Amino acid sequence: MRTFGLVGRSLAHSFSQTYFTQKFYQLGLDDYRYELFELAAASELPGLLARHPDLAGLNVTIPYKEQVWPYLHDVASSAARVGAVNVIEIQADGRLIGHNTDYVGFRESLRTFYPTPAAGGRALVLGTGGAAKAVAVALRELGIAYWLVSRDIMGPHLTYADLTPEVLAAHPLIINTTPLGTYPNVAACPPLPYAALTPQHYVYDLVYNPRETLFLRQARETGAHTKNGFDMLERQAEAAWAIWNGNN
């Protein structure tokens, strides 16, 4: 039996188990399984590995993409570049190698959604966590200038109070990397002046459950283009699968 899984604090929203279970079925891998491992703290990772010696690879989600770092033996260049880990490769000798496939998944998904103008456009990235770091790397590779937006009024980033209609007008691409609106808390959304959005805006939400968050619905109702994070999920998952099979 080869076991893979997802570690995070609350995993009720995740489709990863369904995605990989269907993949194993399609490939005829009857001795493969994918489990969800809710951990109260990242420090529980070594204990999880000890209890499940059949683990062959892990995905990592909120809030542990940065917190698992001390428990790894090494990190690949992708994780070092982003500063966050969303995939753990478990080698035959037990060494744990951290990778980041989020930024590649987002970058390739964005290519199919946002028609980057010659000048590169400008973006607002809502959030400053591990997912935001991955998005920032992808935007830099695509030549898109961006501002991070944080709730922290003492930080170096924009705050939500700074997001005036004029600021939104100057940033046609808006990306939510926060968990706001994720099932079951579907009534939450980032505090934006949604009425200032237009059909010239492209609004991307990394959340994929529900399919249309309140954030995306309010953007769609203004005529903005919208996209959820399921395409990114699929792309990063396939990149993780390649890593676990030694194809990275």
d(CA 41, CA 147): 30
Task: Place 188 in a pLDDT band, splitting at 50, 70 and 90.
Answer: very high
d(CA 31, CA 48): 20
| Residue 192, pLDDT above cutoff 80 | yes
Over range 21-25, report the average pLDDT: 97
3-state secondary structure of 187: coil
Bridge partners, 173 (sequence order) = 123, 202
| Residue 127, pLDDT above cutoff 70 | yes
Compute CA 40 distance to the chain's CA centroid, rounded to the nearest angstrom.
20
Q: What is the pLDDT of residue 152?
A: 84
Q: Which of 23, 65, 133, 227 is catalytic?
A: 65
Domains and CATH numbers, the chain: 2-100 (3.40.50.10860), 103-231 (3.40.50.720)
d(CA 25, CA 46): 29
Q: Is 133 a catalytic residue?
A: no
Count CB-CB contacts under 10 A for residue 63: 15
Q: What is the pLDDT of residue 118?
A: 56
3-state secondary structure of 74: strand
pLDDT tens digits for range 207-222:
999 999 999 999 999 9
